Amino acid sequence: MPMRTGRLAGLALIAAFVWLSCGPGERDEGLNPIIQTEENDPVLRAIALSARESLSEFTRKLQNPSDGEYNFQVKYPFACDPDSGYAYEHLWLRDIEFRDGKFLGTLANSPFYVQNLSLGGRVEFFLDDISDWMYMKQDRIQGGKSIKYLIEKIPPAERDERMRQYLEFFE
């Protein structure tokens, strides 16, 4: 796991909104809401630990998806630019593959605090450092616990219609 700094706020993006409701070949890049969280949020830390502990489930499905399983993504912490005021920005990666002994993914959302990354960029990552994973099965979200948690942190009256709809994708 990347070393944490003592800063109060970490940044978590609910960028999995991007592509959640789309089929395997479709893309919807319209929504990238940002939620700032305490870097040491105990629930997000527990979600990250659970995601890493259940990686075998995710990788098994990634390597051999059943009919109706698609849109495999992981959430990964990238070190923020030194002058940003944040330690890590958690970004979703799609099109996950293992090649030449390395995991690769495509950035599914635009970073705000990491200048050398951009939407659609291809990056290497360490699977053991992810903070969440998700995929769609029969148009329902499997995993993605940080998404649900972060949406539910927003008071219901402040959630827009799309956020309310995404909550319906969870089992």
Q: What is the reported pTM? A: 0.79
Q: What is the 3-state secondary structure (H, E, C) of the chain?
A: CCCCCCCCEEEEECHHHCCCCCCCCCCCCCCCCEEEEECCCHHHHHHHHHHHHCHHHHHHHHHCCCCCEEEEEEEEEEECCHHHCCCEEEEEEEEEEEECCEEEEEECCCCCCCCCCCCCCEEEECHHHCCEEEEEECCEEEECHHHHHHHHHCCHHHCCHHHHHHHCCEC
Is 104 inside any structural domain? yes
Is 140 inside any structural domain? yes
Is 1 inside any structural domain? no
Q: Which domain holds residue 125?
A: 9-167
24 or 142: which leads in pLDDT: 142
Reported as a single tens digit per residue, the pLDDT across 81-124 is 999 888 889 999 999 998 888 899 999 989 999 999 999 999 99
Q: Is the pLDDT score of 21 beyond 70?
A: no
**Number of structural domains found in the chain:** 1
Give residue 141's pLDDT: 94
Is 2 inside any structural domain? no
Is 4 inside any structural domain? no
